[in-house]
Amino acid sequence: MTVTGQDTEVDVDAVRILRGLEDGRSSVRLRAALAAGTTPGPRFVAGLVHRCAIEPEFFVRDMLTWALTRHPVSVTLPALLREVRSDRAQARSQALHTLSKIGDRRAWPAITSSLLSDSEDEVARSAWRAAVVLVPAGEEAVLAAELVTLLGRGGRETQLSLSQALVALGEVIVPVLLAATTSLDPRVRTHALATQRLLHDPDAGFELAIEEAKRVAVLDGPGQEGR
């Protein structure tokens, strides 16, 4: 087999990009991720996935995800499915985020209950977003029933993510959300009411929806909201 000068140049560029992904300067890592996505090739996938798991800068992680979406799904999907089982929270979170951007529903079986209820909020939030993108047609109600059991979890940012995931499922959430508004747990009840408000008025701010839901929850108490 003859190695041409062009082949050598390509190999040198690939090595430069892969080394750039490990550089101590975020600007260099960003350019390397951009280059890997601009000239995609299977040789970059392992390095991109590995970097996703440890990259501290959000804007670089975002570029890494973009670069992975530019590669063939046949190469990226197996690598990302391995990552969602990683012991490292960031690896799980970023892999889930990337799967949601790729949108290939063959990844759906990897969205397990343990990921949806992951103890790390960032992982769980990524799992919720991925789930609503990847859920097969006809299984939305099952997903909604599982997600609604997580109402009341975490701070405002986490609660907003869950509400957005539920609202993205559409009217299928109405019955399970209505049941949650009668919960004896005030956090669950308030979160359910706020999500209900967002479903009917997507332009309503979450903070406003939460404050209004708190007032309703206090005034009516459990068992009144569905009347």
- Contacts of residue 45, defined as CB under 8 A and 6 or more positions apart, other chains included, come to 68, 71, 75, 76, 79
Over 60: is that where the pLDDT of 8 sits? Answer: no
CA 136 to chain centre: 17
**Whole-prediction pTM:** 0.86
Domain locations along the chain? 140-227
The DSSP H or E segment spanning 85 is: none
Segment 117-164, tens digit of pLDDT: 999 999 999 999 999 999 999 999 999 999 999 999 999 999 999 999
Rg, C-alpha atoms of the chain: 21
Alpha carbon distances (Å) from 154 to 51, 130, 151, 206: 28, 19, 9, 14
Query: For residues 113 and 70, what is the distance between their CA atoms, to the nearest angstrom?
Result: 29
Would you say 198 and 167 are in contact if contact means Cβ atoms under 8 Å apart? yes
- The pLDDT-based confidence of 1 (bands split at 50, 70, 90) is very low
Q: What is the pLDDT of residues 63-106, one digit of tens each?
A: 999 999 999 999 999 999 999 999 999 999 999 999 999 999 99
**Alpha-carbon gap, residue 209 to 191, rounded angstroms:** 9
As to burial, measured by CB atoms within 10 angstroms (0-12 exposed, 13-18 middle, 19+ buried), residue 154 is: middle
Confidence of residue 219 (pLDDT cuts 50, 70, 90): low
> Is residue 226 pLDDT above 50, yes or no?
no
